Amino acid sequence: MLETTRQPCIGSATNNKRVRAEPMGVSFFKISVAATAVALSLAACTPQQNANVLPGNQALTASTVSFGTIVSSRAVRLQGSQGAQAAGAVLGGLAGGALGREVGGGTGRVIATGVGATAGAAAGLQAGRAAAGQDSIEWTVQMDNGSTIAVVQGEPVFGIGQRVQVITGGGSTRLAPV
């Protein structure tokens, strides 16, 4: 709800009343902090890559199963989605602008709001990148037919020399122990 307050109009010959709408009890800063907390909570719920968790669209579909041996592995970092990065920048900008708005008055407040929004957006972009990114493992598999493939998958963890099933279908490939 909005509360209206009447203030004298400065510089008016007739001294008419001006109406200014103000939110009751909810500051822009509190809303920004709440939105940032919600976004970070959602980003922390990024699903882990796991060969035992499949998308629903793979139910009742056929997949090709081949066999191979793990020959090497390396740690990789998966880049987060552009959407998560953009959300971080927007929420950071809102929070920074809200903090900057609390500083000074007049032109100084406008400048502080702009600087706060810019710094908040930069920090929010970095936070969005970090929250959306995910550590994983790239497994190199020597297939029984002589070819070599690489599959990025976090779990389960395999050992060098371990035999694996290479399951391909529905536009994805995953590894499972034999």
Average pLDDT, stretch 95-114?
A: 80
Residues of the chain with CATH 2.40.50.100: 49-79+135-178
Question: DSSP class of residue 46?
Answer: P
Average pLDDT, stretch 122-134?
A: 70
Q: For 17-76, what is each residue's pLDDT tens digit?
A: 554 544 444 455 555 565 556 555 544 444 445 566 666 766 767 889 999 999 999 998
Q: Which CATH architecture has domain 49-79+135-178?
A: Beta Barrel (2.40)
Q: Which residue has the higher pLDDT, 177 or 133?
A: 177
Please give the sequence-ordered ranges of beta strands (E in DSSP) within 24-169, or none if there are none.
Answer: 64-78, 134-143, 148-152, 163-169
Q: Using CA atoms, how far apart are residues 133 and 142, in angstroms rounded to an integer?
A: 28
Identify the pLDDT of residue 109. Answer: 79
Identify the pLDDT of residue 150. Answer: 96
- The fraction of the chain above a pLDDT of 70, given in percent, is 60
Q: Model pTM?
A: 0.48
Q: For 10-27, what is each residue's pLDDT tens digit?
A: 544 455 555 454 444 445
Identify the pLDDT of residue 154. Answer: 84
Residue of 144, 133, 124, 163 whose CA lies nearest to 49: 133
